[in-house]
Structure 1
Amino acid sequence: MIGEKQEGLASIIGCKFKGCGHELIFNTSTKTKGLTGKMFWTNNLAAVWGQMTTGGGFNTLEESLSVLNVLVMTKQSFMHTEQIIGKWWWSVLEESMKAAGRQERQIAINKQQHHHSVPAITVIVDAGWSKRTHKHSYNALSCVGVIFGKETKKLLFIGVRNKYCAVCAKDTTKEHECFKNWTGSSSSMESDIILEGFSKAEEQHGLRYTSFIGDGDSSVHSTLRENIKVWGHAITKLECANHAVKCFRSHLENLVKDKPQYKGRNKLTEAQRKRLASAVRCAIIMRSNEVKDKKVNKVAAAKALQEDILNATLHCFGSHSKCKPEYCKTVRALQSPTNTNDSQQSDILFSSGTDSSTDTSFNSSICSAGPSNSTSQASSSLVDCCDEVSNDDPLDALLLEQQMAWEEVTSDAPEEVQLDYSLEPTVPLDQQMICDIQKIAGRLAAKANQLIGNFTTNLAEGYMHIRSKFDGGKQINRSQSGSWESCCAGAALRVNEGPEWGPTIWEKITKCTSNDTFRTVSASKNKILAQDNKRKATEEVKQQRKRRRSTPDYQQGRLDYSRYDNKGPNAVEVPTDLFTDKLHDLMVKYYEAHVKVTETAYQNNGTK
């Protein structure tokens, strides 16, 4: 060998034969032409590609290869290659989103869903930030927003906002590609991204997004209605059932935190708060299934759901006078022909020792403790709700099992001991506590027309989960250059193209076949994922999960440290060693503070 020139993970080696003196030059890596037409060493592209898809960076690659005694490319070369791959990903992603838009448009035409002769669809929207700032700080430097088509379950739009550029922060006069595109607050990034996606819907896909499924962020809806011209007034919002119940549970937690007197037995305990949230969630599933099975119309189902939510508080605390037999086991048992105690049941809601007039007035007060728009007023507005949209998304296994176990999760007593059914609670209840809970339930009941359909933003949440793999779980600040954009684009391709997206996108970009190992690993992961989903769908696994959730450890939401000798409260702490004089001073102070014995008296007592 007469010489070697290294270019990252590729080398140009020159050698000379001793016999004939002929010189030969060969490369340790092939060259690949990307979408830009420029040639790149395949080894360098593959190394950076692998780090980008696993949440790593230059430091991770350098440390990993140093163990193998392999020299790596320079940091500048790594960052340049990372930006090039990111641009390629964005280019391919635009084509993928246009193809998904054409599918959504054709489905809307086939279903005859139009708004002023333009195909109209329902979309799912959400946003995620580059930093964990939920319920605190709200100062993330970057945000990504996504819009999914409900029918194709594919990404139609993705937008990124950045508040920071590392080059601009050092030298604003330097010529560079600036990624800073936002100067407002971090919390307002989501509304701006979703607004951009809605504004470009007709131009990009020939569609109008007349309804969207989102979480509890009301500012997005108002921003769309105010800023989308021509058809903004027709945009309706469908509430994510998961987020709605989560907010309901959070309000209950805050209520107990603000009013500690509601803690304790027969009050708003942790188990009771879980039971209330589960009752509401199961009611949403039940009424949505009625509409899906075409047993009732959407207006009637929304009205029934509103009544169920308002009655959930009384039901969970043992008052079943207003419960419906569809979901209440106590009412079904009392209505059965074999029950002989029907004549003995009273209509009094609370056994508090007061007369019937007092109980009746209290019943009226708690039923009207919600918002100013009562049940009758809210039901009249249900006619204006959006067009019926069926929910074809698969339900989460947990929610399905909650629905199957409705009576169990909403009952205070175990099945085998619940023999004496009664319409009234066995103990007096705190009326003020019930009223406070009803106020929280009333705010949720007002959204009943938006909850019918059991819609969720699981598609968007799934994208955020996949993106966390690309950005390293938000542990690295990727907002200083184009790294954050590249992570978002890679996750979007993974969602639209499936688990085997890697070899497919590599071949589209490089115009050459991916290696056998790359294809084998991707196919293996796809197979494992399919087998895992199939296993989770079996009845045996569902029953195992159900039994596991019924254990005390799972219900308490924490480990039972009594099983461990040296964990949690049972952990043994080693005290700090003290000198003799220091220990004597502490002993004297303790006696003076707690026993009130002076040192002289202590010494005199010791001599006796």
Structure 2
Amino acid sequence: MADRGNIEAIADEVGLTAPPASGNATESGCIRRNTVMLQPEDVLQREVFVREQLKAFSSTPATERKSNLVTSADDTPPSPPDESSFVIASLDCANVLLSAVKCRVCDDSATFGTGKRAYGLSIKMVIACVMCSDIASEWSSPRVNSNKKVNPFVMNVLATRAMQTTGNCQTALSDVFTTMNISHHELHTTMWQGYVKEKLVPAATRAADVMATSARSVRKLYDGLQLGNPSNNSVMYDGLWMTRGHSSHIGVGVVIQLFTGLVLDFVVFSNFCAGCERGPKVGDPAYQAWKDNHVCQKKNTEKKADEVEVEAGLILFERPLQRHNLRYTTILSDGDSRTYLALVDAKVYGFVPTTKEDCVNHVKKRMGTFLHNLLAKGTGSASERLGGKGRLTGDLIIKQSSYYGWALKLHSGDVRAMHKAVMATYHLITSNDTVSNHSLCPPDPDSWRRGSPHQNRYNLPPHMCKDLLPEYERFSDEKLLQRCLQGKTQNSNESLHSMIWALAPKEKHASLFTVQAAVA
């Protein structure tokens, strides 16, 4: 006899959300659901409704769109560790003020100075009477209120946060305040790293709360759009590395919801630990003792740089079902298909397939790359040369790539219209006074032609027109256009990447904790 719980789970997988039939329908251990058959006109009406809703949704500015969706999220910035305020003042100016103050013991004047003790930016302040010597002393900053045995100074914590917010590190902190003659006591490396680790915990907790709220908002949106099973979502996924090339030790994977731009999940990987690199190697007599005592904190993967994106994708796509009851069934990515192929092979959602969509901007770049390569190969006699006035030039390549991108974006949702618009760009540059074909050019002034008249401005060689045709047919292939049907780009990913690397610049060394805090 079939297990009832398993059947309910399978029914939910395929989106059968109708309530089970009443009565004795479930006495046998199976479940029967009442299915309402939609008529073709009902399906068409729903598609039109969804298309209009998504179009209106996309036209809303990103910040407004996100704030309207995540209404329950607490967007107030985290409070500083203390409400203390700080000023930068000259000791000479402070002594001018103190000259008006008299000692309460001997009625003589007092002076303001600093003691010998200092911790980072916090120093010991001393007020001394000319006759009575020391009167009072106090630290220049209060300490953070916590349960630690020794609490850090608020000024040091805020200075560390300021450096991290501007993408700087411990050295920059010391340079700034040494140059300003404020403090010549450097913040110790151990103290700096301790602040960074302490910041990571609240940042990660806050990020987890925001992403959970975003996931609930996305599911609520899909419920309203009636896009089938509300658990099935479309997302953008991209991997990024701390340094360029295949030698980066730190990689980041981020999942962003396709229509809302809300970040749903992220993971940061590092395959490098300075302690492991500098410690004794296998075969060294001291290796076993070192290994027993060494705790590797800055290394959480053994994968190479070019494998991190795939590993991050598998983790990020497997865990949303358990965390938020969501499946990332559509992935928008760039031309690298390794992550998508790994997801298909892993069958992360069982028999529920994962489909791939292409970023319009990346497809547009492929068109530009093809034309540049064609121009580079076209050397020879004047009759065979592809470049030159009225022929294939750098300006024309940029223009054609832009036309191709506009053709995809302006006709998103309609494969036939996209195909027609792409082929119109081919006929535009291959038409001349002898052979002219502008029948596919759109008359709409808001189209990619921008209302320009049908002018034959180019004189491409016949053999070049012949070589271009199969490539334009390849770029207007129905399967490719189907993957660009939404007309979406990875701009949200690129925007997030720029924010991350502003906090942890690529040209500066950063640890796993620093990058994790920057992403969170």
* TM-score, normalised via structure 2 length: 0.67
1:206 Cα deviation (Å)? 1.5
Secondary structure, aligned partner of 1:90: helix
Matched-pair contact (CA < 8 Å) for 2:232–2:329: yes
2-structure distance, mates of 1:189, 1:275: 36
After superposition, the Cα gap between the structure-2 partners of 1:252 and 1:404, relative to the gap in structure 1 and judged at 3 Å, is closer
CA-atom RMSD, angstroms?
Answer: 3.1
| Correspondence for 2:153 among 41, 64, 67 | 41
1:34 Cα deviation (Å)? 6.4
Matched-pair contact (CA < 8 Å) for 1:199–1:228: no
Does structure 1 residue 267 correspond to structure 2 residue 396? no
1:231 Cα deviation (Å)? 4.5
Q: Which one has more relative contact order, counting CA pairs under 8 Å at least 6 apart?
A: 1
Does structure 1 residue 90 correspond to structure 2 residue 214? no
Give the letter for the 1:483 counterpart.
T
2-structure distance, mates of 1:307, 1:17: 89
1:64 Cα deviation (Å)? 0.8
Instruction: Name the structure 2 match of 1:450.
Output: 483
1:317 Cα deviation (Å)? 2.3
| Correspondence for 1:150 among 230, 237, 258 | 258
Does structure 1 residue 110 correspond to structure 2 residue 224? yes
1:234 Cα deviation (Å)? 2.0
2-structure distance, mates of 1:140, 1:218: 20
| Correspondence for 2:416 among 298, 303, 324 | 303
1-structure distance, mates of 2:123, 2:470: 71
Does structure 1 residue 478 correspond to structure 2 residue 507? no
Matched-pair contact (CA < 8 Å) for 1:162–1:181: yes
2-structure distance, mates of 1:35, 1:458: 44
Instruction: Name the structure 2 match of 1:166.
Output: 274
Secondary structure, aligned partner of 2:442: coil
1:504-543 matched pairs, under 5 angstroms: none
Instruction: Name the structure 1 match of 2:430.
Output: 317
> For each residue in 1:78-127, what CA deviation from the matched residue of structure 2 results, as whole angstroms up to 9, or x when unmatched?
22212222333222211111111111122122223344xx6222212222
Matched-pair contact (CA < 8 Å) for 1:32–1:41: yes
Instruction: Name the structure 2 match of 1:360.
Output: none
Give the letter for the 1:221 counterpart.
Y
After superposition, the Cα gap between the structure-2 partners of 1:436 and 1:409, relative to the gap in structure 1 and judged at 3 Å, is farther
Does structure 1 residue 441 correspond to structure 2 residue 441? no
Does structure 1 residue 326 correspond to structure 2 residue 326? no
1:263-412 matched pairs, under 5 angstroms: 263-288=387-412, 298=413, 301-318=414-431, 320-321=436-437, 323-327=439-443, 403=447, 406-408=450-452
Matched-pair contact (CA < 8 Å) for 1:101–1:156: yes
2-structure distance, mates of 1:287, 1:166: 52
Q: Which runs of 5+ in 2 are unaligned?
A: 1-112, 281-289, 380-384
Matched-pair contact (CA < 8 Å) for 1:12–1:28: yes
Instruction: Name the structure 1 match of 2:169.
Output: 57
After superposition, the Cα gap between the structure-2 partners of 1:445 and 1:106, relative to the gap in structure 1 and judged at 3 Å, is same
1-structure distance, mates of 2:417, 2:427: 16
Instruction: Name the structure 2 match of 1:198.
Output: 317
Give the letter for the 2:519 counterpart.
C
2-structure distance, mates of 1:35, 1:266: 75
1-structure distance, mates of 2:517, 2:279: 24
Q: Quick check: 124-133 or 239-248, which moved more? A: 124-133
After superposition, the Cα gap between the structure-2 partners of 1:15 and 1:246, relative to the gap in structure 1 and judged at 3 Å, is same
Matched-pair contact (CA < 8 Å) for 1:146–1:157: yes
2-structure distance, mates of 1:272, 1:33: 64
Give the letter for the 1:445 counterpart.
S
Instruction: Name the structure 1 match of 2:6.
Output: none
Secondary structure, aligned partner of 1:182: coil
After superposition, the Cα gap between the structure-2 partners of 1:127 and 1:410, relative to the gap in structure 1 and judged at 3 Å, is farther
Instruction: Name the structure 2 match of 1:469.
Output: 502
2-structure distance, mates of 1:410, 1:198: 49
> For each residue in 1:359-399, what CA deviation from the matched residue of structure 2 results, as whole angstroms up to 9, or x when unmatched?
xxxxxxxxxxxxxxxxxxxxxxxxxxxxxxxxxxxxxxxxx
1:477 Cα deviation (Å)? 2.5
1:20 Cα deviation (Å)? 8.6
Does structure 1 residue 74 correspond to structure 2 residue 118? no
Does structure 1 residue 429 correspond to structure 2 residue 473? no
Secondary structure, aligned partner of 1:113: coil
Instruction: Name the structure 2 match of 1:26.
Output: 138
Give the letter for the 2:468 counterpart.
I
Q: Which runs of 5+ in 1 are unaligned?
A: 289-297, 330-400, 414-424, 490-608
Secondary structure, aligned partner of 1:6: strand
Secondary structure, aligned partner of 1:267: coil
1-structure distance, mates of 2:420, 2:344: 29
Secondary structure, aligned partner of 2:123: strand
Give the letter for the 2:401 counterpart.
A
1:36 Cα deviation (Å)? 8.7
1:21 Cα deviation (Å)? 8.9
1-structure distance, mates of 2:241, 2:124: 43
Instruction: Name the structure 2 match of 1:565.
Output: none
Matched-pair contact (CA < 8 Å) for 2:273–2:296: no
| Correspondence for 1:248 among 353, 356, 367 | 367
Question: Structure 1 or 2: larger helix share?
Answer: 1
2-structure distance, mates of 1:87, 1:140: 25
> For each residue in 1:379-428, what CA deviation from the matched residue of structure 2 results, as whole angstroms up to 9, or x when unmatched?
xxxxxxxxxxxxxxxxxxxxxx8x46534499665xxxxxxxxxxx8x57
1:195 Cα deviation (Å)? 1.9
1:45 Cα deviation (Å)? 0.8
Secondary structure, aligned partner of 1:482: helix
Matched-pair contact (CA < 8 Å) for 2:391–2:460: no
After superposition, the Cα gap between the structure-2 partners of 1:438 and 1:218, relative to the gap in structure 1 and judged at 3 Å, is farther
After superposition, the Cα gap between the structure-2 partners of 1:286 and 1:112, relative to the gap in structure 1 and judged at 3 Å, is closer
2-structure distance, mates of 1:430, 1:240: 32
After superposition, the Cα gap between the structure-2 partners of 1:131 and 1:258, relative to the gap in structure 1 and judged at 3 Å, is farther
After superposition, the Cα gap between the structure-2 partners of 1:2 and 1:149, relative to the gap in structure 1 and judged at 3 Å, is closer
1:327 Cα deviation (Å)? 4.7
Matched-pair contact (CA < 8 Å) for 1:315–1:323: no
Secondary structure, aligned partner of 1:187: helix
Instruction: Name the structure 2 match of 1:139.
Output: 247
Instruction: Name the structure 1 match of 2:12.
Output: none
Matched-pair contact (CA < 8 Å) for 1:142–1:161: yes
1:456 Cα deviation (Å)? 1.0
* TM-score, normalised via structure 1 length: 0.58
Corresponding residue pairs, total: 385
Instruction: Name the structure 2 match of 1:539.
Output: none
1-structure distance, mates of 2:367, 2:489: 16
Secondary structure, aligned partner of 2:261: coil
1:176-195 matched pairs, under 5 angstroms: 176-195=295-314
After superposition, the Cα gap between the structure-2 partners of 1:410 and 1:81, relative to the gap in structure 1 and judged at 3 Å, is farther
1:444 Cα deviation (Å)? 2.5
After superposition, the Cα gap between the structure-2 partners of 1:444 and 1:233, relative to the gap in structure 1 and judged at 3 Å, is farther
| Correspondence for 1:459 among 489, 492, 497 | 492
1-structure distance, mates of 2:340, 2:377: 30
